[in-house]
Homo-oligomer: A and B are copies of this chain.
Amino acid sequence: MDKSQIPALGIDLGGTKICAGLVINHTLTGETRRIPTPQGADNITKALLELIRHFQETNFIMGVGIATAGIVNPETGEVIGSTGNLPGWEGTPIKKLIQSRTALRCHVENDANAAAYGEFHAAHLEDRICTVTVTLGTGIGVGIVLNGKLYRGAHFAAGECGHIKISMDNRRRCTCNLWDCWEAYGSGRGLQATGWKLLEGLSPGQSSLVDKRDNLTTKDILEAAAEGDSVARQALEKWHEHVACGLVSLCHTLDPDAFVITGGMSKFIDYSTLRDMLADRTLPRVSEKLEIHPSILGEAAGMVGAADLVLDAAREAEGAAVL
């Protein structure tokens, strides 16, 4: 049997939903399951085990890759910090639990890292020195691939770039409680806050969004912008500037070959505007040859990347056994 045709199960565990699907050759294959994320660590673990059993009923699988919110130690497979979206999840020894209950190989990874690994392979960027994948969603997550490997830092917190500081005046508080984090401006939540701020003191005649201000959503802003509302357009333009501002710091620190922009908000990026903004705000050496790729995997990036990681681990273990 050709082992490259045996799938791994990729699971993306987010604050609101859990998605799972089988992955072969960096691609989802067959059915994808999506369930709401239950409350509490025990219920999440139970849901993960049920998903795995479901896929095992009809498939032989090589292992399970789990992309989860929070800072992860992938060696122990434990979530060790920052899981605001998943209360009670910190400290759960996921890998150990899954392996002992299913006898399957398991790899647990931070969701932005998993997405980065998935997009890196899907876009065939294997020959690049540095690829930085930015997940623009409710928050901002970053995954850094250096010479083909995820770079995780000294305390598994590399790529927590949502908390880069892009202003010094304590203007906006981030959900992490720090001030002026990139994420407080460049994420979906950031766009909302920018819209809200721009609407301050306006009368209903000045923007169609004024009446919606109390419960303003990113969808409201995007729709109003599409209909030509000038305040909504200004909010979108500012949001692009905010996204660019963090990318500038990443350019001058990591000097990447390529950015990949993924996540739910990435489809609203105007790439031509973003490229121009980066060219204007960086040293020529850094941006001249910089590639900016839109996501290839979209919402599947976390699942595919997590599955890729467990498949790689299986191959490495096999290689080691043969030696």
**A residues in contact (CB < 8 Å) with B:** 71, 80-82, 128-130, 142, 144, 146, 151-168, 176, 178-179, 241-242, 245, 248-250, 252-257, 281-286, 288-289
Instruction: Knowing A128-B154, A146-B146, A153-B130 are in contact, say whether A165-B249 is a contact too (CB < 8 A).
Output: yes
Among the interface residues A156, A176, A178, A250, which one has the most CB atoms of the partner chain B within 10 A? A178
Among the interface residues A80, A165, A248, A249, which one has the most CB atoms of the partner chain B within 10 A? A165
Residues of B near A153 (CB, < 8 A) are 129-130, 254-256
Q: Which 10 A-B pairs have the closest CB atoms?
A: A153-B255, A154-B257, A158-B255, A157-B255, A81-B285, A164-B249, A163-B252, A160-B252, A129-B154, A165-B248
Indicate if the CB atoms of B158 and A254 lie closer than 8 Å.
yes
Which among B248, B253, B281, B289 is the interface contact of A253 at CB below 8 angstroms?
B253
Which among B81, B167, B281, B286 is the interface contact of A283 at CB below 8 angstroms?
B81
How many Å from the CB of A233 to the closest CB on chain B? 19
Instruction: Knowing A81-B285, A245-B168 are in contact, say whether A253-B159 is a contact too (CB < 8 A).
Output: yes
Residues of B near A288 (CB, < 8 A) are 155
Indicate if the CB atoms of A250 and B253 lie closer than 8 Å.
yes
Residues of B near A158 (CB, < 8 A) are 130, 253-255
Indicate if the CB atoms of A252 and B164 lie closer than 8 Å.
yes
How many copies altogether?
Answer: 2
Among the interface residues A71, A156, A163, A281, which one has the most CB atoms of the partner chain B within 10 A? A163
Indicate if the CB atoms of B157 and A285 lie closer than 8 Å.
yes
Q: Report the bound CA distance from A256 to B288 in whole Å.
A: 28
**A241 closest partner in B (C-beta):** B168
Which among B160, B164, B250 is the interface contact of A255 at CB below 8 angstroms?
B160
Residues of B near A81 (CB, < 8 A) are 283-285
Residues of B near A155 (CB, < 8 A) are 255, 285-286, 288-289
Indicate if the CB atoms of B283 and A82 lie closer than 8 Å.
yes
Residues of B near A281 (CB, < 8 A) are 165, 178-179
How many Å from the CB of A197 to the closest CB on chain B? 13
Residues of B near A157 (CB, < 8 A) are 252, 255, 283, 285-286
Q: Report the bound CA distance from A84 to B250 in whole Å.
A: 23
Residues of B near A256 (CB, < 8 A) are 153-154
Residues of B near A152 (CB, < 8 A) are 255
**A158 closest partner in B (C-beta):** B255
Q: Write 11 A-B pairs (CB below 8 A) sorted by A numbering.
A: A155-B285, A156-B255, A158-B254, A159-B255, A161-B249, A164-B252, A166-B167, A168-B245, A249-B253, A250-B253, A253-B254
Residues of B near A245 (CB, < 8 A) are 165, 168
Residues of B near A257 (CB, < 8 A) are 154
Which among B80, B241, B252 is the interface contact of A161 at CB below 8 angstroms?
B252
**A152 closest partner in B (C-beta):** B255
Q: Report the bound CA distance from A277 to B243 in whole Å.
A: 25
